[in-house]
Structure 1
Amino acid sequence: MNRVSVIGVGNMGGGMAANLLARGWAVDVCDIDFAKVEALQLLGAEVLESPAQAAVNASVHIVCVVDAPQTGEVLFGPRGLAQRLQPGHTVLLCPTLAPEDVEAFAARLAEQGVHTLDAPMSGGPARARDGSMSLMVAGPQAVVTAAGELLKALSSRVFHISEKPGDGARTKLVNNLLAGINLVGAAEAMALAQRIGLDLAKTLDVIEQSSGQSWIGIDRMRRALAGDYAPRAHVTLLEKDTRLAMEMARSAGFASLLGGPASAAFAQAHAAGWAEEDDAALFKLLGGRS
């Protein structure tokens, strides 16, 4: 456990890698964006050319890419981790994925004697970097215990959901559906405040200290009021996560009242050309409604 690989070092993966390096861990990193790995190399990370190389020196591997296709490529592609994974290695799956995809990946890895921890994260890049983000971990207790020091280094809020990979993904989708609903609600409320001529900064101050408060709503609307749409969390992320949550709801026979419209709002923001902007762009979408 004294050496770990991080495959995918974007906002969250890069934050985790930097955090581990600052805590004295040996970290191998791999990403298709060389600028990202180069920045971590300056902090002491070892740069890998392919995920397959990661299994040479480390026995624990953090996969932190965007979606299921990227995860499948990292794990089982021509230069994927599975080429050199050994029995007893552990893979942490940190992207927000459909539960059935997590279950399928875990089953394939188990055929090689490789452990899977379904470990989606929440909290944003700053919390990934300082180790205060949340991890929703699903996997066998023995594997969670063996990875305990790493999990504590990554997160001050580790929740062991169950021993069943897939339940971490289910928990994350429930959480992110609520985050998406809260964000769309905050953007709509602020758009209404704008329409009726209120001072937006003062309105947000009131909301932050009153019953309408939500962390994501305040965080994103502060950015929106400053005109700051530089991406910390792209519109496409909650677009994907709310879509996956609604698919999960439908497969469970659950009729969602608010999730569908919230998910549609993120899709509309994408269609409006704001896919690569911060999801604070929901304010622009809802503020432009007649």
Structure 2
Amino acid sequence: MRSIGFIGLGSMGLPMARNLLARGFAVRGFDLRAESAAALARDGGAAAASAADAAAGADLLVLMVVNAAQAETVLFADGALDALPAGAVVALMATCPPGAVEALAGRVAAAGRRFLDAPVSGGVVGASGGTLTIMAAAPRETFEAAEPVLRAFGDKVFHVGERPGQGATVKTVNQLLCGVHIAAAAEALALAAKVGVDLGILLEVLGGSAASSWMLRNRGPRMLQDEPEVASAVDIFVKDLGIVLEAGHDARAALPLASIAHQMFLAASARGDGGADDSQVVRTYLALNGLPRPPE
């Protein structure tokens, strides 16, 4: 597979497409923002005029879109699926509900194309550095055909199952833990702040203790900043924890911690912090405790 169509050239999609170019793939990309496709063209790719144009003649079509509804629109309403050659692979790499992924996969297969459920983790940093974690589910033959493309995106590529929807499930579990860990870290810092503990020293203590987590070490220092650079926004976890709860509902699985974390991210978004770094869910915890901002 050397000819790649790419739809969704946002903060993660564009660097992913650039990594394909660096590996020698031919990439034709489309985004609703014309300037993003133009940026890809300046780097040696081709700017497509539409989703169908990006898919035309491609061996594999990457969908790095916002959600399952957007993937459905791109594939069926905008003509991308019909533009793909028979037997080509559709790689859905966005975070979507497992049930929605399974339904999309069935429609793609019915049209004579193959489907790869391959959500990613690692954010903009991982997308730029080619160090994403990729959780791929598809029949082994489809996975192996697409694997060279996936390895242009990430250094941790896992075949997690033969059935589309299983990759989305693994990503859902990942996001459950990430969201709960961030919320728990924010709650802990808010308690310490309430009683006047030095939060910088607290993070040093916790970072080397059994209470530590990757999220605490990564997000904790940003929780002490007024306006940290946005690596992943609060509204991302509003969406992703919503997907977690939907998956739990479908599986009849009780997810009380995920539900509470989702409420805290929703509250942060409602306070006007939806576009802020996800570490800033701490502002909601501080506000609940009568502390309007992180202590200096």
What interval of TM-score do these two structures reach, taking the shorter chain for normalisation? over 0.9
Structure 1 position 202, deviation (Å) = 2.2
What's 2:65 paired with?
65
Q: What is the match of residue 46 of structure 2?
A: 46
- 1:109 is the counterpart of 2:116: no
Q: Is the 8 A contact 2:5 2:60 kept in 1?
A: yes
Deviations 1:19-47 (A, max 9, x none): 22223322211111223223322222211
What secondary structure sits across from 1:170 in the alignment? helix
Residue number in structure 1 paired with 2:227: 228
d(CA) in 2 for partners of 1:209, 1:11: 32
What does residue 258 of structure 2 align with? Answer: 259
String of CA shifts for 1:209-251, please: whole Å, max 9, x gaps.
2222222232223223233344322212111111111121122
Q: Identify if the C-alpha distance between structure 1 residues 154 and 270 changes in structure 2 by more than 3 Å, giving closer, same or farther.
A: same
Q: Secondary structure at the match of 2:245?
A: helix
Deviation, 1:103, is 1.0
Rounded Cα–Cα distance in structure 2 between residues aligned with 1:22 and 1:127: 15
Are residue 8 (structure 1) and residue 33 (structure 2) matched?
no
Q: Are 1:178 and 2:166 counterparts?
A: no
3-state SS of 2:29 partner? strand
Over 3 Å counting, the alpha-carbon distance change for 1:201 and 1:22 in structure 2 is farther
Q: 1:274 to 1:24 in 2, by over 3 A?
A: same
> Structure 2 vs 1, CA of residues 222 and 247 (structure 1 numbering), >3 Å: closer, same or farther?
same
Distance in structure 2 (CA, Å) of the matches to 1:34 and 1:203 = 46
How many Å separate the matches in 2 of 1:147 and 1:155?
Answer: 13
Listed as ranges, the gaps of 5+ residues in structure 1 are: none
Q: Which amino acid aligns with 2:73?
A: E
Corresponding residue number in structure 2 for 1:118: 117
**Residue type matched to 2:168 in 1?**
A
Q: For 2:64 and 2:227, locate their aligned partners in 1 and report how far apart those are by CA, in whole Å.
A: 25
> Which residue of the partner structure matches residue 19 of structure 1?
19
Cα distance per residue 1:156-195 (max 9 Å; x no partner):
1111111000011111111101110000001111122222
Structure 1 residue identity aligned to 2:194 = R
* d(CA) in 2 for partners of 1:46, 1:190: 47
- Written as runs of structure 1 = structure 2, the 5 A alignment for 1:198-213 is 198-213=197-212
Choose 9-18 or 19-28, whichever is displaced more: 19-28
Matches of 2:243 and 2:79, distance apart in 1: 25
Moved more, 112-121 or 81-90: 81-90
How is 1:122-161 mapped onto 2 (pairs within 5 angstroms)? 122-161=121-160
Q: For 2:214 and 2:102, locate their aligned partners in 1 and report how far apart those are by CA, in whole Å.
A: 31
Name the residue aligned to 2:83. Answer: 84
- Change in Cα spacing, 1:217 to 1:15, as seen in structure 2 (3 Å) is farther
| 1:97 and 2:96 correspond | yes
Q: Distance in 1 between matches of 2:38 and 2:201?
A: 42
| Alignment length (residue pairs) | 289
2:244 maps to 245
CA distance in 2, matches of 1:36, 1:195: 45
Q: Which amino acid aligns with 1:8?
A: G
Q: Any idea what the Cα deviations from partners look like across 1:108-136, whole Å, max 9, x if unmatched?
A: 11112111000010011111121111001
What are the superposed Cα offsets for residues 235-275 of structure 1, whole Å, 9 maximum, x if unpaired? 12111111111121122222223111011111111111111
SS at match of 1:92: strand
CA distance in 2, matches of 1:14, 1:287: 36
What CA distance in whole angstroms lies between the structure 2 residues aligned with 1:175 and 1:52? 32
Task: Decide whether the 8 Å contact of 1:15 with 1:129 is kept in 2.
Answer: yes
Partners of 1:219 and 1:228 in 2: CA distance: 15
Question: Residue 288 of structure 1: SS of its match in structure 2?
Answer: helix
Q: Against the structure 1 CA distance between its residues 211 and 108, is the aligned structure 2 distance closer, same or farther, given a 3 Å change threshold?
A: same
Deviation at 1:88, TM superposition (A): 0.9
Question: What fraction of aligned residue pairs are identical, expressed as a percent?
Answer: 37
| Contact map agreement 1:235 1:276 (CA 8 A) in 2 | yes
CA deviation map 1:79-116 (0-9, x unaligned): 23123122110011011111111111111111121110
RMSD: 1.5
Stretch of structure 1 that moved more, 168-177 or 218-227? 218-227
